[in-house]
């Protein structure tokens, strides 16, 4: 078995050893699946070879927002040849509820429906089309109940899915009463459809002893495993989840991939046949939750310079019909209602409003973007009120470095780099010069108006549910020196597998080609946290590093024994190993270690240090560190139609010491555009009866290539390693740059404000669709005729 090791001469090995290092972290290694993505060969769940005798599952959705179910008759379903089964809530063998944190999400409607789209029954048939026809033939009779569809109504009536929560520092009421200026206002922030290219999908194969093998597109394999076990009423060890890659997740597959998986499992259990459920786009958009829309009320006191004295913000998240992850999502909105600003005396209230729409869920930023939009609106409102450049007010209110650096949840902001980053971008984007040019342009252009905005991002990294900050990994080295790598994270396009492989390549100092990335599988690494909160690489990278270091230490110890040298004599480099004066290839070392009876397989583990949060006291250190970014965007607005075009975007983003600059730049660009889409063209519209009308790409407009800024310049901060002991001193990148997309929204309002000589902030709720921009234009034109302020109320000082 030793024959496959190619024997090189000592000179050859030494030359390889001494060559420039070409592997490991910090390099723009291409995405592990890049070639397959481009050629279309990457296998998603729906591309797998299908199991023989498979059933396709289709869900019949409620067409009522709130109703009691009077009768369900599935007999008509069976008239269609090929139908195997039609199930309702009564057919679920185990637990019906699949709520991720607290109960509230029945797998199938249980006597009542609470939104249009709620799954009432499901049919398994030998084709999707037959399953659909049969499901639509079932008889479902309802008795309508009054729905609550308006978040403000739910907020006023305290119609909540979970209790409200408060963050408090200082005395905002006293400061508000005495501040030189005080303004009150409100803002609606829209939701957002995930629009992952691959819709929710699962494929389930019954296995021995009542077990199930589940292929599913999920960010959270362990939770799907737990919920499939619960709906079947079997222990978790009977269920195996396999997840190779998602065609995008963006938070939408953190909890809501479980429904199709559980429906498939129940039908597989009842029929003994393999099952597959793939949601058509319209069904996916109707059944699953989205980013939470928010309604925000604020009361802010400040001085003549625009410095905050006191602030109260009430954040009312529109959670839809059930809690899902809304507890943590509204928390994160509260945690980010400071963005990069020292609030001083602040009271932040978070409310979780219950409405009769789909249950809103995780979406890139996890509530953080909504909190940050609120404070950015407030910065603009203050600037307009005082006739100042919004950037001046923003910079004035930035957290200080050694003072004015305690947040409203009592965490001290350390290693703040927002000042330097803002200064760098202000210079490279020529902010002042372009500000002057834009004012001159606008003065001479009656219809087309330009706007400019520079906005910061400070985003807390770590799950605020502290226990989730843990990860595991598994490494085997086979006798030919090839490495099998597995970890608890999931690949959704963000490049996590590539980064984790780079980490392992770095530890062993071997070529990345030697490392085989494998599907996330609950058999290999158990009890995983969702791949979320941007922490995939931080947590799983560290767990894999731990595993690799354990094996490497065993190899070093072995070589020390075998060659009677010291550990300092052993060096791994370029897939070779030097043992004092002698050179061995990595595979030779592995072979020798195998024959020396050294274990070449191990698990690794990581938990984030330093963090804690006391929810009772609303204080602690929920975040290990913060990631920062700044964006400067210029827009041109047609004030006759409300249409706009982003002319230029300059971005500077902080990823610490990047694990992979190419992937990180891709994340920054993609997140920025996704954030911009949220706040500009992506509008969710429901009918008066609660039916989602924007249920496909024809009516829901995500950004396309032509919506990109004409000139987009993205840079990563250089030579600024994460001061905390993160994986090779990198910083998380997945979510933070999403909030760079606030700059285009502010730039649009800047352009509109020019119509009233920047004396007032137009009330343009998010998303700033062309219609809303036109309303803003109208407000400014009216203001030109009277001096009365627009939507913001000025309160006289006491």
Binding flags for ligand QUE, 252-281, as an x/- string (CB under 6 A): --x---------------------------
Contact 734, 532 (CB under 8 A): no
User: Can you tell me whether residue 243 is helix, strand or coil?
Assistant: strand
Counting contacts by CB under 6 A, is residue 128 touching ligand QUE?
A: no
Interacting residue with ligand QUE among 16, 89, 101, 236 (CB under 6 A): 101
Please enumerate in sequence order all residues whose Cβ is within 8 A of that of 168, keeping only pairs 6 or more positions apart, or say none: 346, 347, 348, 408, 618
The interface with ligand QUE within residues 336-365 (CB under 6 A) comprises: 362
Beta bridge partners of 452: 634
Could you give the angle at which helices 368-386 and 326-335 cross, rounded to 10 degrees?
30
Residue 254 or 377: which CB sits closer to ligand MOS?
A: 254
Counting contacts by CB under 6 A, is residue 733 touching ligand QUE?
A: no
CA dihedral in degrees (32, 35, 41, 44; nearest 10)?
30
The interface with ligand MOS within residues 525-554 (CB under 6 A) comprises: 532-533
Q: Which does 191 bind (CB under 5 to 8 A by kind): ligand MTE, ligand QUE, ligand MOS, none?
A: none
Counting contacts by CB under 6 A, is residue 100 touching ligand QUE?
A: yes
Q: Which one of 234-242, 363-371, 554-562, 677-685 is the stretch in contact with ligand MOS (CB under 6 A)?
A: 363-371
Q: Which does 486 bind (CB under 5 to 8 A by kind): ligand MOS, ligand MTE, ligand QUE, none?
A: none
Residue 258 or 532: which CB sits closer to ligand QUE?
A: 532
User: Can you tell me whether residue 561 is helix, strand or coil?
Assistant: helix
Phi and psi of 217, rounded to 5°?
A: -95, 90
Counting contacts by CB under 6 A, is residue 556 touching ligand MTE?
A: no
Counting contacts by CB under 6 A, is residue 734 touching ligand MTE?
A: yes
Q: Which two tokens stand for residue 39?
A: 């050629």
The interface with ligand MTE within residues 478-497 (CB under 6 A) comprises: 489, 492-494, 496
Q: Please report the sign of the dihedral spanned by the C-alpha atoms of residue 108, residue 353, residue 252, residue 219.
A: negative
Whole-angstrom distance, CA of residue 768 vs CA of residue 676: 10
Interacting residue with ligand QUE among 152, 465, 565, 647 (CB under 6 A): 465
Q: Which two tokens stand for residue 415?
A: 């290693």
Report the residue number whose CB is nearest to ligand MTE: 536
Counting contacts by CB under 6 A, is residue 672 touching ligand MTE?
A: no
Interacting residue with ligand MTE among 107, 537, 542, 746 (CB under 6 A): 537
Whole-angstrom distance, CA of residue 486 vs CA of residue 498: 12
Interacting residue with ligand QUE among 294, 298, 366, 728 (CB under 6 A): 366
Counting contacts by CB under 6 A, is residue 200 touching ligand MTE?
A: no
Residue 133 or 458: which CB sits closer to ligand QUE?
A: 458
Residue 254 or 587: which CB sits closer to ligand MTE?
A: 254
- For 189, other C-beta atoms within 10 Å of its C-beta total 27
Interacting residue with ligand MOS among 351, 364, 720, 772 (CB under 6 A): 364
Nearest approach, Cβ of 19 to ligand QUE (angstroms)? 42
Counting contacts by CB under 6 A, is residue 714 touching ligand MTE?
A: no
Buried b (16+ CB within 10 A) or exposed e, 474-509: bbbbebebebebbbbbbbbbbbbbbbbbbbbbbbbb
- For 163, other C-beta atoms within 10 Å of its C-beta total 9
Long-range pairs for 207-212 at CB < 8 Å and ≥24 separation?
A: 207/240, 209/238, 210/234, 210/238, 210/269, 211/238, 211/239, 211/240, 212/238, 212/239, 212/240, 212/265, 212/268, 212/269
Interacting residue with ligand MOS among 366, 623, 672, 678 (CB under 6 A): 366
Q: Which does 318 bind (CB under 5 to 8 A by kind): ligand MOS, ligand MTE, ligand QUE, none?
A: none
Size of the residue set binding ligand QUE (CB under 6 A): 15
Whole-angstrom distance, CA of residue 126 vs CA of residue 717: 54
Count of residues in the chain: 798
Contact 60, 123 (CB under 8 A): yes
Whole-angstrom distance, CA of residue 375 vs CA of residue 393: 12
Residue 198 or 242: which CB sits closer to ligand MTE?
A: 198
Interacting residue with ligand MOS among 187, 285, 362, 396 (CB under 6 A): 362
Counting contacts by CB under 6 A, is residue 536 touching ligand QUE?
A: no
Nearest approach, Cβ of 311 to ligand QUE (angstroms)? 22
- Per DSSP, the residues of 634-653 read EEEEETTT--EEEEEEEEEE
Whole-angstrom distance, CA of residue 571 vs CA of residue 233: 52
Tell me whether residue 10 is exposed, middle or buried, using C-beta atoms within 10 angstroms of its C-beta: 0 to 12, 13 to 18, 19 or more.
Answer: exposed
Alpha helices (H) in 387-520, listed in sequence order:
390-397, 418-428, 431-444, 496-508
Counting contacts by CB under 6 A, is residue 350 touching ligand MTE?
A: no
- Per DSSP, the residues of 389-415 read -HHHHHHHHB--SSSS-B-TTS-B--S
Phi and psi of 770, rounded to 5°?
A: -55, -35
Q: Which does 101 bind (CB under 5 to 8 A by kind): ligand MTE, ligand QUE, ligand MOS, none?
A: ligand QUE
Counting contacts by CB under 6 A, is residue 629 touching ligand MTE?
A: no
Counting contacts by CB under 6 A, is residue 592 touching ligand MOS?
A: no
Q: Which one of 8-16, 85-93, 529-537, 755-763 is the stretch in contact with ligand MTE (CB under 6 A)?
A: 529-537
Counting contacts by CB under 6 A, is residue 533 touching ligand QUE?
A: yes
| 3-state per-residue secondary structure call for 249-295 | CCCCCCCCCHHHHHHHHHHHHHHCCCEEEECCHHHHHHHCCCECCEE
Counting contacts by CB under 6 A, is residue 532 touching ligand MTE?
A: yes
Counting contacts by CB under 6 A, is residue 389 touching ligand QUE?
A: no
Interacting residue with ligand MTE among 278, 364, 385, 731 (CB under 6 A): 364
- Catalytic-labelled residue, pool 223, 735, 778, 796: 735
Please enumerate in sequence order all residues whose Cβ is within 8 A of that of 270, keeping only pairs 6 or more positions apart, or say none: 85, 87, 91, 93
Name the strand (E) or helix (H) holding 775. helix 770-785
Interacting residue with ligand MOS among 105, 254, 491, 654 (CB under 6 A): 254
User: Can you tell me whether residue 484 is helix, strand or coil?
Assistant: strand
Counting contacts by CB under 6 A, is residue 168 touching ligand MOS?
A: no
Alpha helices (H) in 138-287, listed in sequence order:
151-156, 172-178, 221-232, 258-271, 281-287
Is residue 175 part of the annotated active site? The answer reads no
Whole-angstrom distance, CA of residue 314 vs CA of residue 303: 22
Residue 321 or 613: which CB sits closer to ligand QUE?
A: 613
Interacting residue with ligand MTE among 221, 251, 350, 629 (CB under 6 A): 251
Counting contacts by CB under 6 A, is residue 732 touching ligand MOS?
A: no
Contact 65, 356 (CB under 8 A): yes
Interacting residue with ligand QUE among 27, 64, 332, 573 (CB under 6 A): 332
Interacting residue with ligand MTE among 155, 195, 215, 250 (CB under 6 A): 250
Q: Which does 328 bind (CB under 5 to 8 A by kind): ligand MTE, ligand MOS, ligand QUE, none?
A: ligand QUE
Whole-angstrom distance, CA of residue 90 vs CA of residue 331: 35
Interacting residue with ligand MOS among 24, 117, 251, 737 (CB under 6 A): 251
User: Can you tell me whether residue 730 is helix, strand or coil?
Assistant: strand
Q: Which one of 273-281, 315-323, 358-366, 723-731 is the stretch in contact with ligand MOS (CB under 6 A)?
A: 358-366
Size of the residue set binding ligand MTE (CB under 6 A): 21
Residue that is written with structure tokens 């945690």 in the block: 335
Residue 374 or 570: which CB sits closer to ligand QUE?
A: 374
Counting contacts by CB under 6 A, is residue 461 touching ligand MTE?
A: no
Catalytic residues: 735
In the complex, the residues that contact ligand MOS under the rule CB under 6 A are 219, 251, 254, 362-364, 366, 532-533, 735
In the complex, the residues that contact ligand MTE under the rule CB under 6 A are 248-251, 364, 489, 492-494, 496, 531-537, 667, 670, 734-735
In the complex, the residues that contact ligand QUE under the rule CB under 6 A are 100-101, 254, 325, 328, 332, 362, 366, 463-465, 468, 530, 532-533
């Amino acid at each position: 078995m030793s024959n496959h090791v190619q024997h090189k001469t000592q000179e050859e090995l030494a030359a390889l050893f001494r060559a420039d290092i070409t592997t490991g972290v910090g390099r723009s290694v291409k995405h592990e699946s890049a070639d397959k993505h481009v050629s279309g060969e990457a296998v998603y769940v729906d591309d797998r070879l299908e199991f023989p005798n498979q059933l396709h599952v289709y869900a019949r959705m409620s067409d009522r927002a709130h109703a009691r179910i009077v009768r369900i008759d599935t007999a008509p379903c069976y008239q269609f040849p090929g139908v195997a089964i039609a199930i309702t809530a009564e057919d679920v063998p185990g637990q019906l509820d699949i709520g991720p944190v607290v109960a509230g999400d029945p797998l199938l409607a249980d006597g009542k429906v609470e939104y249009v789209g709620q799954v009432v029954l499901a049919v398994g048939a030998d084709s999707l089309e037959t399953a659909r026809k049969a499901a639509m033939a079932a008889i479902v009779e309802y008795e309508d109940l009054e729905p609550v569809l308006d978040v403000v109504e739910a907020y006023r009536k305290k119609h909540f899915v979970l209790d409200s929560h408060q963050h408090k520092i200082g005395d905002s009421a006293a400061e508000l009463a005495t501040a030189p200026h005080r303004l009150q206002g409100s803002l609606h922030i829209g939701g957002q459809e995930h629009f992952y290219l691959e819709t929710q999908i699962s494929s389930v194969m019954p296995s021995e002893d009542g077990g199930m093998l589940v292929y599913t597109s999920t960010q959270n394999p362990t939770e799907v495993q737990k919920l499939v076990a619960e709906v079947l009423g079997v222990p978790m060890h009977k269920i195996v989840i396999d997840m190779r890659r998602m065609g995008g997740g963006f938070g939408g597959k953190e909890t809501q991939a479980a429904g199709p998986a559980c429906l498939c499992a129940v039908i597989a259990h009842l029929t003994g046949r393999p099952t597959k459920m793939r949601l058509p786009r319209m069904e996916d958009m109707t059944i699953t939750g989205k980013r939470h829309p928010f309604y925000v009320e604020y009361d802010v006191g400040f001085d003549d310079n625009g410095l905050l004295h006191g602030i109260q913000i009430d954040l009312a998240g529109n959670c839809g019909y059930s809690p899902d992850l809304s507890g943590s999502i509204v928390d994160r909105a509260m945690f980010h209602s400071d963005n990069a600003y020292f609030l001083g005396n602040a009271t932040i209230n978070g409310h979780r409003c219950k409405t009769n729409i789909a249950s809103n869920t995780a979406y890139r930023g996890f509530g953080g973007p909504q909190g940050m939009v609120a404070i950015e609106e407030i910065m603009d409102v203050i600037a307009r009120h005082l006739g100042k450049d919004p950037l001046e007010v923003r910079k004035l209110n930035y957290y200080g470095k050694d003072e004015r650096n305690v947040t409203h949840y009592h965490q001290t902001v350390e290693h703040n780099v927002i000042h330097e980053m803002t200064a760098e971008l202000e210079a490279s984007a020529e902010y002042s010069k372009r500000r002057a040019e834009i004012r001159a342009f606008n003065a001479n252009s009656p219809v087309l108006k330009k706007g400019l905005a520079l906005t910061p991002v400070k985003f807390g990294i770590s799950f605020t549910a502290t226990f989730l900050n843990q990860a595991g990994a598994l490494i085997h080295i086979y006798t030919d020196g090839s490495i099998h790598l597995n970890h608890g994270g999931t690949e959704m396009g963000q490049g996590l597998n590539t980064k984790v492989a780079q980490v392992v390549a770095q530890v062993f100092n071997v070529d990345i080609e030697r490392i085989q990335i494998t599907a996330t599988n609950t058999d290999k690494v158990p009890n995983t946290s969702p791949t979320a909160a941007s922490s995939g690489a931080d947590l799983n990278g560290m767990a894999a590093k731990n595993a690799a270091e354990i094996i490497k230490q065993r190899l070093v110890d072995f070589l020390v024994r075998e060659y009677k040298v010291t550990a300092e004599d052993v060096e791994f480099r370029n897939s070779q190993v030097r043992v004092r004066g002698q050179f061995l290839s990595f595979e030779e070392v592995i072979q020798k270690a195998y024959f020396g009876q050294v274990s070449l397989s191990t698990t690794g583990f990581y938990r984030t240090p330093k963090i804690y949060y006391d929810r009772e006291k609303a204080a602690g250190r929920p975040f290990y560190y913060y990631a920062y970014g700044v964006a400067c965007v210029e827009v041109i607005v047609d004030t006759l139609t409300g249409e706009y075009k982003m002319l230029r975007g300059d971005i500077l983003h902080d990823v610490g010491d990047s694990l992979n600059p190419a992937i990180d730049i891709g994340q920054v660009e993609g997140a920025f555009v996704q954030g911009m889409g949220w706040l500009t063209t992506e509008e969710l519209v429901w009918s008066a009866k609660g039916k989602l009308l924007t249920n496909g790409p024809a009516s829901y407009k995500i950004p396309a290539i032509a919506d990109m800024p004409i000139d987009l310049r993205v840079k990563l901060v250089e030579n600024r390693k994460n001061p905390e002991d993160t994986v090779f001193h990198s910083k998380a990148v997945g979510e933070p740059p999403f909030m760079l997309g606030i700059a285009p929204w502010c730039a649009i309002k800047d352009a509109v404000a020019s119509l009233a000589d920047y004396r007032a902030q137009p009330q343009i709720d998010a998303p700033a669709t062309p219609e809303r921009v036109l309303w803003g234009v109208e407000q400014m034109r009216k203001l030109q005729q009277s001096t009365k302020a627009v939507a913001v109320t000025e309160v006289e000082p006491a």
